[in-house]
Amino acid sequence: GPTLILALTRENAVAHWRDLLGPKTVEEAMKENPNSLRAQYAVSNVPIGQLHGSSTPDDAQKELEFFFPEEHTFALIKPAAAAKYKDVILQKVKDAGFTISKFKEESLTREMAAQFYHDHEGKPFFEDLLSCMTEGPSVIMVLTKENAVEEWRNLMGPVDPEVAKETSPESIRAHFAEDILSNAVHGSSTKEHAQKSIECVFGELDLD
């Protein structure tokens, strides 16, 4: 049947959780530490403890990566928002549980902006978009988290701030976008796009 899997965090978490669990088998746990979790929450007739904990920090790392694989996405605070709201947007990023794995502040060249937005080449707003993206320094980041691509897009909100205010009032675009063009932030739409944009800005990366 289903198992509940948790990532637990505190100082010295591996040893502390193992202390709480108590001895390996239910029999030992009952005898040696009746207050331990394995003794208290034993299931009758099942001699095997119902709870697991990683043996070492290295094992914990491996098990966490297996059950909660991390993903990287490419994220950018556009120049107008970077000038006005950089700190508050960065705080929102951290509050949402992203790790900022790479960070730089730099003005994009038109070539870079065209690369990030090559899907939109030929659209009527394309030239305006390149101008808006190159008018000053952007904050450029690699954000890391489980399911990072999708979660960053959720945090950004819909492309049009008027829609964002209606449907995602807590999103970054609802709070900080001026209009659909100068809409505060950019984020890759797929893992593959993210990889390309990350390489374009930060070079080959061994983030995994």
Residues that bind ligand ATP (CB under 6 A): 117, 120, 125, 129, 159, 180-181, 183, 186-187, 189
Q: Which is nearer to Mg ion, 27 or 162 (CB)?
A: 162
Q: Binding mask 4-43 vs Mg ion (x if CB under 5 A, - otherwise)?
A: ----------------------------------------
CA-nearest of 164, 161, 151, 182 to 72 is: 151
Considering the candidates 52, 72, 120, 186, report the single residue annotated as catalytic: 186
Shortest separation between residue 207's beta carbon and ligand ATP, angstroms:
20
CA-nearest of 113, 117, 193 to 152 is: 193
Active site residue 186: yes
By CB neighbour count within 10 A (0-12 exposed, 13-18 middle, 19+ buried), where does 115 fall?
middle
Interacting partner of 181 out of ligand ATP, Mg ion, none (Cβ under 5 to 8 A depending on kind): ligand ATP
CA–CA gap between residue 148 and residue 144 (Å, rounded) = 6
Shortest separation between residue 15's beta carbon and Mg ion, angstroms:
45
Q: Binding mask 97-136 vs Mg ion (x if CB under 5 A, - otherwise)?
A: ----------------------------------------
Would you tell me the crossing angle of helices 57-67 and 13-21 to the nearest 10 degrees?
A: 90
> What are the structure tokens assigned to 95, written together?
């509050």
Q: Which is nearer to ligand ATP, 86 or 153 (CB)?
A: 153
> What are the structure tokens assigned to 186, written together?
């950019």
Residue with token string 């209606």: 166
Considering only residues 175 through 204, tell me which ones interact with Mg ion, judged by CB under 5 A: 189
DSSP state string for 30-64: HHH-TTSHHHHTPPTT--B-S----SSHHHHHHHH
Q: Which is nearer to Mg ion, 89 or 156 (CB)?
A: 156
φ and ψ of 80, to 5 deg: -65, -40
Shortest separation between residue 84's beta carbon and ligand ATP, angstroms:
16
Interacting partner of 125 out of Mg ion, ligand ATP, none (Cβ under 5 to 8 A depending on kind): ligand ATP
Tell me the residue nearest to Mg ion as measured from the CB: 189
Q: In one letter, which amino acid is 180?
A: I
Summarize as ranges the residues that interact with Mg ion (CB under 5 A).
189
Q: Give the catalytic positions in this structure.
A: 186
